[in-house]
Amino acid sequence: MNVTEFLINTYSTGTPLVSTAKRYRPSATTKKGYILIFAHGTGFHKEHWEPIIQRLYAHGGPIIEAWAIDSQTHGAAATLNRDAIDAPGFTYSSYHLAEACANLYKTHLTGTRHPIVLIGHSAGAASVALVPSFWGTPTRQPFSALILVEPAIWPGSMIGIADSPAYKLACSTIPHRRKTWASRDAVRRDLALRAPWRMWDSRILDIYIEHGFEEDKEGVSLRCRPHHECQPFANQINAVYPIPELDKTRKKVPVHVVYGERNDLFTREKQDSLLRGRKFASVTRIPGAGHLVVQEAPDAVGDVLLSILEGLQNQRYVQREFAL
């Protein structure tokens, strides 16, 4: 793959910030296909999508290029924004990453003739669902489809309801998790033996250790500080914000939902509250994987995305359940 790095400016929340993005193009170019924009989940960063993008290209997916973007409090962007995001009073919301995705399009993709698909995981899926709001009306937004992977989206009536033990544990422990190690080798020795990291695909763990940490005087530290990682858990209203926009968008373009089959972080009741009364283009459940399906089963996620993209080309997805 050919990889190019970009900076995306954001302003709408009142604090000027940047997001870091990478564009991935296949070595052999194609003239027909989709442009994909990927948004990561909380605690992660844009490079987590690389094994999935590589699989899509390796299997001849109908893709012109793929973009992956960092939240302003995560990955390389967090390092660049450190003073602003660690200042007293700064609060992150799903709209931050949504604006970054919107501005990526407005800066680099306006006028393209190729259809664009937004893809997000967990809190990144909540942000992806909010991206069309930056166009004012659904009829004007330029995206051909949305794919929401384990979306952290549910109605307001579900705030604080049906939270799983794993979710409650994350809420209480993430703010206090360790953030500094002596070296990247020390990080690997520590995380490789502990959940959830020991359940990850080895490529994803390598990527996390390489791109999720920054060197400092103490050794290496998490780029995404724990107080930023815990924001979606501490403020469930971020899961509610996308609902009105999503209800408008799904009537205009196909919206696909992908879950891990194992209900660990999000209960089935929480997931069903999003599906209930809403018609989606497809719903997929990936066997053996949980909420961190992108980290645990990137090849399976890539295969599902490939199937969805091929289905979009052939208009095969019409409100049905899809299973591997």
- Span 170-198, pLDDT tens digits: 999 999 999 999 999 999 999 999 999 99
Give the pTM: 0.94
Contacts of 173 (CB under 8 A, 6+ apart): none
Instruction: Give the Cα separation of 251 and 268 in Å (integer).
Output: 24
pLDDT of 13 strictly over 90: no
The mean pLDDT value of the chain amounts to: 92
What CATH number matches the domain at 2-158+236-323, 1.10.3210.10, 3.40.50.300, 3.40.50.1820, 3.40.50.2000?
A: 3.40.50.1820
Angle at 102 between CA 101 and CA 103, to 5 degrees: 90
pLDDT of 125 strictly over 70: yes
Q: What is the CA radius of gyration of the chain?
A: 18
Residue 322 confidence class, pLDDT cut points 50, 70, 90: very low
pLDDT of 137 strictly over 90: no
Return the amino acid letter for 300.
Answer: A
Report the run of H or E that residue 191 belongs to, with start and end: helix 184-191
pLDDT of 138 strictly over 60: no
Q: Per-residue pLDDT tens for 35-75?
A: 999 999 999 999 999 999 999 999 988 999 999 999 999 99
| Sequence spans of domains, the chain | 2-158+236-323
